[in-house]
A and B are shown apart, each in its own frame.
Chain A
Amino acid sequence: MSSINYSEKIPNNVNLSEDRTLQRALEGWQPNFINWWDDVGPEGSTNYDVYLRTAVSVDPQGWAQFGHVKMRDYRWGIFLNPGDANREIHFGDHKGEKAWQDVPGEHRANLRRIIVTQGDTEPASVEQQRHLGLTAPSMYDLRNLFQVNVEEGRHLWAMVYLLHKHFGRDGREEAEALLERQSGDANNPRILGAFNEKTPDWLSFFMFTYFTDRDGKFQLAALAESAFDPLARTTKFMLTEEAHHMFVGESGVSRVVQRTCQVMNELKTDDPAKVRAAGAIDLETIQRYLNFHYSVTIDLFGADQSSNAATFYSSGLKGRYEEGKRTDDHQLKGQTYKVLEVVNGQLVEKEVPMLNALNEVLRDDYIKDSVAGVGRWNKVIEKANIPFRLQVPHKAFNRAIGALAGIRLSPDGRVVSENEWSARKNEWLPSDEDRAFVASLMGRVVEPGQFANWIAPPVMGINRQPVNYEYVRFG
């Protein structure tokens, strides 16, 4: 069953109309969702017709339909990847048993916690990004921002469906709370730290979609292995949408880098001040933004040793990235993994049971994936014949969670004194001046085909449309 029923109030491919109780519960939640969107969704966008991608079915032909729609009328809904009635659990203590269609009582609390934590990030990023539309560097980028926003909204729907369908009253209360917490709210913040940080400018937005949405990719990929089949099928479909967010980030930073290199070559300079004076973002500032977003994001994977992570894995709730493609015993008992700690002022590796280190395993998979993209940004710099190279900081740099929290480390992995840290912090992380400078470049450019001075145009448009296509029609 892959077609989506759009005749219903809540588009879905889960036969919602056959479950009247659930349908009523979700129809009760829907007005609150729309209110939330109106209150803290993209600012001032109500009358825009945006060239958006909407799913009409979850097969390859139907899931990406393009057309101009008002975001408020976006067909948010509940879409699960097609199921396999014979699917078996393929890791942990229940390996070989049939996948669960309902939540087993003993795993209820943990599963709810996993779903709520994932669900909380979705509205959070919409809130973080709500002002960015006012300073878009182009109509093309504005459209991409809005596409990211509506898909985060749909991901919230996906998690709320699971809560309503499988967790009874607790689930309904959690679904309400997802709309009540707010990013950066001192009294009722979002659950995870990175989702309470500001996304004040477009360089931050591109870094966020590159680094932080990639955390989303890895978390969703680990959940797509879950023994709880509805969660696995939901997150699998979300992954297809998530890829667009990382595209926005990777190509966004790449275009900023490209423009900077172009300015450097035109002016024949590598002086950051001259680059800034010419209205582009110097590579050093880009590196500091990268250090910040990278370090904040790898905290999201949690403590390097965690008994919860072991429980989640052994009980089949959450697998590893690409669990199905790995060739070990998928139970990991008696195996070890190396994590970092500081002994006598030095970083040293130590072997710990792998089951307890699964957060670190996922973090390391993430690091490998994100480093590859940084390499592709460097190709742009290399092509411009500029000797500078971007790099990700050491894994222990600027951490706030786990055994490495609070350790003062330079980006290249040297333990430094508190004095040196204070003295050089602004070389390593964006300073207030950096942020003020980047903010000063943020003006609104929305003529079709026009781009702000600090960013290069993309090589191609969306869905084979030209770059100067009217991606957003202002009402």
Chain B
Amino acid sequence: METAEAVTTLKQHLIDPEICIRCNTCEATCPVGAITHDDRNYVIKADVCNGCLDCISPCPTGSIDNWRTMPVVRAYSIEEQLTWDELPPELTNEQLEAFGVAEEAEGEGTGAAAAAAPSPAGLAEPGAQAFRSAQYGAHVPPWSAAHAYTNLHTPRNPVLATVAGNFNCTEEGFDSETHHIVLDFGAQPLPVLEGQSIGIIPPGEDALGRAHQPRQYSIASPRNGERPGYNNLSLTVKRVTVDHQGQPVRGIASNYVCDLKVGDKVKVVGPFGGSFLMPNHPKSHIVMICTGTGSAPMRAMTEWRRRLRNSGKFESGKLMLFFGARTPQELPYFGPLQKLPKDFIDINLAFSRNPGQPKRYVQDLMRERSADLAALLKDGLSHFYVCGLKSMEEGVVLTLRDVATEAGLDWDAIGSAMKAEGRLHLETY
């Protein structure tokens, strides 16, 4: 997944000034210096915070655990935050739309986004609170997750990786091109888990003569390496050739990464992420819903489960995948996916631009499978992961709600339990 060039919204990390006691614990804890303060408030720099969550558990008050979905360009600046006496409310769908967020969901040229249906607008009853999918996303890992290391390497001390492979994993000849990159770290420590990401620093400088910021990519390989037992990992990177408005643009990082040759050296920072992590309990179920390069963490989790199963460490946990793309040719890892045994993973593919076929989105498939999904929603061992472009998130969570409600389940109870227990993870960009 590629966030820096594809991002339109971010989950902005904020501190509730009504609950915060200004004890400085978060600022002292933050490994990347994202937190600062004045005499009035403690605040978080949106462009520095990497969501590592190191500050969450040391905070004695819980005020640190607040998040708002914001268009990147409208992220609250620290100057704004320093004037607050209370947190601003979540933006409504209408406000987000006014910033152009929802329009992009329908825009062409957003590649895989087309496979996710536009959010159903105006669903909320008059007077009722608007549905905000982000409020259901967990900020904690499941209880059986492994311990994640974060921020071992920062832009000041990046680790140098060697390119061990670079393959185009979409069929040649189509206008979109997604690469599978393998990076090797030799003897340098970079322990990672499925669901985590790393950052790559493109060489050179930006227009203002500053070093480029790292671009973040989800890891597509399991914890013990793209090749088991080797200190390597893989990424899924889409070459960015148009921006969100469909205008031609050459993404600096994605083109750099897609053009890498075997043997090239790459500056890497991270790992990042301490909550979008898979459960390790052998009876836990994983439901994965993704589009495009959002498949990277899903590939990592699936492959780790496959290796576990091959070594006999696997009980009754189910795997279910909903994967959307415009066409089969554009779907990364389409070939290898088809070879996975049916009793291992339940695969549902949605194509929105397959010639001669009606448009199908991941939500359509989820509705078709509502009986199975309802059973999984009821089960406290089920974990849901959503990864892809921002525009799919709302539709997917709404569909989960509808599935639950139609099965006579209490969505509010299930949704908040999944959030509290780290069983519903939303990673969209």
A61-B54, A459-B19 as given contacts; A247 in contact with B60, CB under 8 Å: yes
Asked if B121 is at the interface (CB within 8 A of a chain A CB), the reply is no
Residues of A within 8 A of B58 (CB): 60, 63-64, 240, 243
A246: CB under 8 A from chain B?
yes
For the complex formed, measure the closest distance between the CB of B411 and the CB atoms of chain A, giving whole angstroms.
18
In the complex, which residue of chain A has the Cβ closest to the Cβ of B20?
Answer: A376
On chain A, the residues within 8 Å of B19 by CB distance are 251, 459-460
* Proximity string of chain B (29-64) to chain A, C-beta cutoff 8 Å, 1 when within and 0 when not: 101000000011000000000000011011011100
Asked if residues A64 and B22 are in contact (CB atoms below 8 Å), the reply is no
- For B250, what are the chain A residues with a Cβ–Cβ distance below 8 Å? none
Residue contact A61 to B21, C-beta cutoff 8 Å: no
- Number of residues on chain A facing chain B (CB within 8 A): 25
Q: Please classify the interface of chain A as helix (H, G, I), strand (E, B), loop, or mixed, using the class held by over half of its residues.
A: helix
Q: Is B147 an interface residue (CB 8 A)?
A: yes
Is there a chain A Cβ closer than 8 Å to B23's Cβ? yes
How many residue pairs bridge A and B at CB < 8 Å?
Answer: 61
Closest-by-CB residue of A relative to B25 is: A243
Query: Is B424 in contact with chain A by the CB < 8 A criterion?
Result: no
A240 to B140, CA, bound (A): 21
The distance in angstroms between the C-alpha atoms of A138 and B65, with both chains bound, is 24
Contact A372 B25 (CB under 8 A): no
Tier of interface size on chain B: 20 to 34
Residues A200-254 near B (CB distance < 8 A): 217, 239-240, 243-244, 246-247, 250-251
The digit string for A439-475, where 1 denotes a CB below 8 A from any CB of B, is 0000000000000000000011111100000000000
Q: A379 contacts the other chain (Cβ, under 8 Å)? A: yes
Q: Is B420 in contact with chain A by the CB < 8 A criterion?
A: yes
- Nearest B residue to A368 via CB reads B39
B352 to chain A, nearest CB (A): 38
- Measured between beta carbons, the chain B residues less than 8 angstroms from A459 are 18-19
**A373 on interface, CB distance cutoff 8 Å:** yes
Given A61-B147, A379-B85, is A464 in contact with B21 using a C-beta cutoff of 8 Å? no
Q: How far is the CA of A243 from the CA of B267 in the complex (A)?
A: 38
Does any Cβ of A come within 8 Å of B395's Cβ?
no
Within the complex, what minimum Cβ distance (angstroms) separates A436 from chain B? 31
Q: Mark A251-262, 1 if CB is under 8 A from B, else 0.
A: 100000000000
Contact of B21 among A60, A373, A379, A460 (CB under 8 A): A373
A442, chain B: closest CB distance, angstroms = 24
Chain A residues in 8 Å Cβ range of B54: 60-61
Instruction: Decide: B21 and A251 in contact? CB cutoff 8 A.
Output: yes
Q: How far is the CB of B404 from chain A (nearest CB, A)?
A: 21
Q: Give chain B residues whose Cβ lies under 8 Å from the Cβ of A251.
A: 19, 21, 61
Are B25 and A64 touching (Cβ within 8 A)? no
A372 touching B60 by the CB < 8 A rule? no
**Structural contact, A243 and B23, CB atoms closer than 8 A:** yes
Q: Which residue of B lies closest to A221 (CB)?
A: B24
Known: A373-B22, A459-B19. A60 touches B61 (CB 8 A): no
Cβ of B274 under 8 Å from chain A: yes
Q: In the complex, are the beta carbons of A60 and B55 less than 8 A apart?
A: yes
Bound: A460/B85 CA distance, A: 18
Distance from A84 Cβ to chain B, minimum over Cβ atoms (Å): 15
Q: Which residues of A contact B274 (CB under 8 A)?
A: 61
Mask, A32-75, CB within 8 Å of B = 1, is 00000000000000000000000000001101100000000000
Report the bound CA distance from A64 to B147 in whole Å.
Answer: 14
Chain B residue with Cβ nearest A375: B40
Residues of chain A within 8 A (CB-CB) of B39 are 368, 372
CB neighbours (8 Å) of A369 from chain B are: 22
User: B123-175: which have CB < 8 Å to A?
Assistant: 140, 147
CB neighbours (8 Å) of A373 from chain B are 21-22
* B41 CB to nearest A CB, Å: 10
Contact with A along B278-322 (1 / 0, CB 8 A): 000000000000000000000000000000000000000000000
A61, A372, A379: the one within 8 Å of B57 (CB)? A61
Question: Would you give the 0/1 interface string for A361-398, flagging 1 where the beta carbon is closer than 8 Å to chain B?
Answer: 00000001100110010010000000000000000000
Q: Is the interface of B mostly helix, strand, loop or mixed?
A: loop
Contact between B62 and A460, CB atoms less than 8 A apart: yes
How distant is the Cα of A162 from the Cα of B420 in the complex, in angstroms?
Answer: 40
The complex places the Cα of A240 from the Cα of B274 at a distance, in Å, of 21
| Chain B nearest CB, measured from A346 CB (Å) | 30
Q: Across the interface, do B22 and A247 meet the contact criterion of CB distance under 8 Å?
A: no
How far is A308 from B21 in the complex, measured between Cα atoms in Å? 32
Please determine whether B62 and A243 come into contact, CB atoms closer than 8 angstroms: no
Distance (Å) between the CB of B144 and the closest chain A CB?
15
Judging by beta carbons under 8 Å apart, are B61 and A247 in contact? yes
Contact B85 A464 (CB under 8 A): no
Cα A368 to Cα B22 with chains together (Å): 12
Separation in Å of the A253 CB from the closest CB of chain B?
Answer: 11
Q: How far is the CA of A372 from the CA of B85 in the complex (A)?
A: 13
CB within 8 A of A372: which of B22, B31, B65? B22
Residues of A within 8 A of B24 (CB): 243
Min CB–CB distance A39 → chain B (angstroms): 29
Residue-by-residue, is B238-271 near A (CB-CB < 8 Å gives 1, otherwise 0)? 0000000000000000000000000000000000
Q: Tell me the minimal C-beta distance from B414 to chain A in angstroms.
A: 16
State A369–B62 Cα separation when bound (angstroms): 20
Contact among B25, B40, B420 for A240, CB-based, below 8 A: B25
Query: Shortest beta-carbon distance, B148 to chain A, in Å?
Result: 8
CA gap between A123 and B122 in the complex, in Å: 60
Q: What are the residues of chain A within 8 A of B29 when measuring CB–CB?
A: 60, 240
CA distance A372 to B24 in the complex (A): 14
For residue A51, give the distance in angstroms from its CB to the closest CB of chain B. Answer: 14
Hey, which chain B residues are within 8 Å of A239, CB to CB? 25, 28
A250 touches B21 (CB 8 A): yes
Residue of A nearest to B421 (CB): A464
CB pair B22 A464 closer than 8 Å: no
Could you say which of A60, A246, A463 contacts B23, with CB atoms under 8 Å apart? A246
For chain A, residues 162 to 219, give those with C-beta under 8 angstroms from any C-beta of chain B: 217
B420–A243 CB distance below 8 A? no
- Which residue of B is nearest A369, CB measured? B22
A228 to chain B, nearest CB (A): 20
Contact of A243 with B60 in the complex, beta carbons under 8 Å: yes
CA A250 to CA B60, docked complex, whole Å: 11
B60–A244 contact, CB under 8 A? yes
Q: Is the CB of A243 within 8 A of B85?
A: no
Q: Which of B21, B31, B55 contacts A246 (CB 8 A)?
A: B21
Residues from chain A with Cβ under 8 Å of B85 in the complex: 379
Q: Are A464 and B65 in contact (CB under 8 A)?
A: yes
A460 — nearest CB in chain B belongs to which residue? B62
A376 to B85, CA, bound (A): 9
Tell me, in angstroms, the Cα distance from A369 to B40 when the chains sit together. 10
- Residues of chain A within 8 A (CB-CB) of B62 are 460-464
Q: Which of A217, A243, A368, A464 contacts B140 (CB 8 A)?
A: A464
In the bound complex, how far is the Cα of B39 from the Cα of A244, in angstroms? 20
- Per-residue 0/1 for B167-205: is the Cβ within 8 Å of any A Cβ (1 yes, 0 no)? 000000000000000000000000000000000000000
Whole-angstrom distance between the Cβ of A98 and the nearest chain B Cβ: 23
Structural contact, B61 and A464, CB atoms closer than 8 A: no
Identify the closest chain B residue to A382 (Cβ). B85
Residues of B with C-beta under 8 A to A60: 29, 31, 54-55, 57-58
Q: What residues on B are CB-neighbors of A463 within 8 Å? A: 57, 62
Pairs across A and B, CB under 8 Å, 15 listed: A60-B58, A61-B57, A61-B147, A63-B57, A64-B58, A239-B28, A243-B58, A251-B19, A251-B61, A369-B22, A372-B22, A459-B18, A459-B19, A464-B62, A464-B65
Leading 6 A-B pairs by shortest Cβ distance: A243-B23, A60-B54, A244-B60, A64-B57, A247-B60, A250-B21
- Residues on A facing B (Cβ under 8 Å): 60-61, 63-64, 217, 239-240, 243-244, 246-247, 250-251, 368-369, 372-373, 376, 379, 459-464
- Inter-chain pairs besides A60-B54, A60-B55, A246-B21, 4 sampled, C-beta below 8 Å: A60-B31, A61-B274, A372-B39, A379-B85
